[in-house]
């Protein structure tokens, strides 16, 4: 079973591998992700660690699921992901963090998320080509989908088409934890 490695140099090498496999130049990737060529170069050399938002933009530009940038795909028919070995990704300000519960690049991605009080999953609602289902395990989560707000308490779930602009928000005074299932995995 492949093990996720979140060191900047491993992420950079994985981005380079995917970029070259898709026959993209650094300039082409930078244009697609709307970032500078210098940033791509620094990320690929392991000098700079990109923010969650930049990593999402790179994954989208590479048409690759976000967490696939951190590890080789796991092709095992049965895979165990130990809690202590989960891949973790956090926003630059630490408002939201995700741990990948599912392994490799299967047809389903399962994430455990934690959103701090007053936090949002992204500055603006965003889209990706998937379906998503979120279930709250602790606290209260506001799920914004296509301009509508859906308030979820522990045990509540919300399913939606991820091609609609969406984001998660915590209006409460304590952290919110939730699971999000995404199929197929995307950026």
Split into its structural domains, the chain has a count of 2
Residue 84 in any domain: the answer is no
Residue 3 in any domain: the answer is no
**Which residues fall within 8 angstroms of residue 90, CB to CB, at 6 or more apart?**
52, 96, 97, 98
Instruction: Return the pLDDT at 144.
Output: 98
pTM: 0.66
- How far is residue 122's CA from residue 95's CA, in Å, rounded to a whole number? 9
80-109 pLDDT, tens digit each: 888 888 888 887 777 898 998 988 667 788
Q: Are strands 96-100 and 131-138 parallel, antiparallel or unpaired?
A: unpaired
Q: In the listed set 48, 64, 80, which residue is the last one of a domain according to the structure?
A: 64
Residue 93 in any domain: the answer is no
Residue 77 in any domain: the answer is no
Residues 111 and 171 in one domain: yes
Neighbours of 54 (CB within 10 A): 18
Residue 119 in any domain: the answer is yes
145-181 pLDDT, tens digit each: 999 999 999 999 999 999 999 999 999 999 999 999 9
Closest CA to 183 of 157, 156, 154, 163: 163
Residues 59 and 125 in one domain: no
CATH number at residue 52: 1.10.260.40
Q: In the listed set 31, 46, 64, which residue is the last one of a domain according to the structure?
A: 64
184, burial (CB in 10 Å: exposed 0-12, middle 13-18, buried 19+)? middle
- Contact assessment for residue 155 and residue 83, using Cβ atoms and an 8 Å cutoff: no
Helix (H, G, I), strand (E, B) or coil at 100: strand
Domain that holds residue 178: 107-183
Residue 59 in any domain: the answer is yes
Residues 116 and 178 in one domain: yes
Q: How many CA atoms lie within 13 A of 10 on its CB side?
A: 12
Q: How would DSSP label each residue in 109-174?
A: EEEEEEE-TT-BSSSS-B--SSEEEEEEEESEEEEEETTEEEEEETT-EEEEETTS-EEEE--SSS
Residues 120 and 57 in one domain: no
């Amino acid at each position: 079973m492949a093990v996720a490695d979140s060191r900047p140099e491993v992420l950079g090498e994985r981005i380079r591998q995917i970029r070259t496999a898709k026959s993209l130049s650094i300039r082409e990737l930078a244009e697609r992700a709307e970032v500078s060529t210098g940033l791509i170069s620094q990320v690929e050399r392991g000098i700079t660690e990109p923010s969650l938002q930049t990593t999402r933009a790179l994954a989208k530009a590479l048409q690759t699921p976000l967490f696939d940038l951190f590890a080789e795909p796991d092709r095992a028919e049965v895979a165990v992901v130990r809690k202590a070995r989960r891949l973790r990704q956090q926003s630059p300000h630490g408002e939201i963090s995700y741990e990948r519960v599912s392994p490799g690049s299967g047809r389903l991605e399962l994430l455990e998320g934690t959103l701090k009080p007053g936090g949002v999953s992204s500055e603006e609602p965003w889209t990706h080509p998937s379906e998503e289902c979120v279930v709250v395990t602790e606290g209260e989560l506001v799920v914004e989908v296509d301009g509508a707000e859906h308030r979820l308490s522990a045990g509540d779930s919300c399913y939606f088409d991820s091609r609609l602009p969406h984001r998660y928000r915590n209006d409460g005074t304590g952290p919110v934890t939730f699971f999000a299932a995404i199929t197929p995995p995307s950026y």
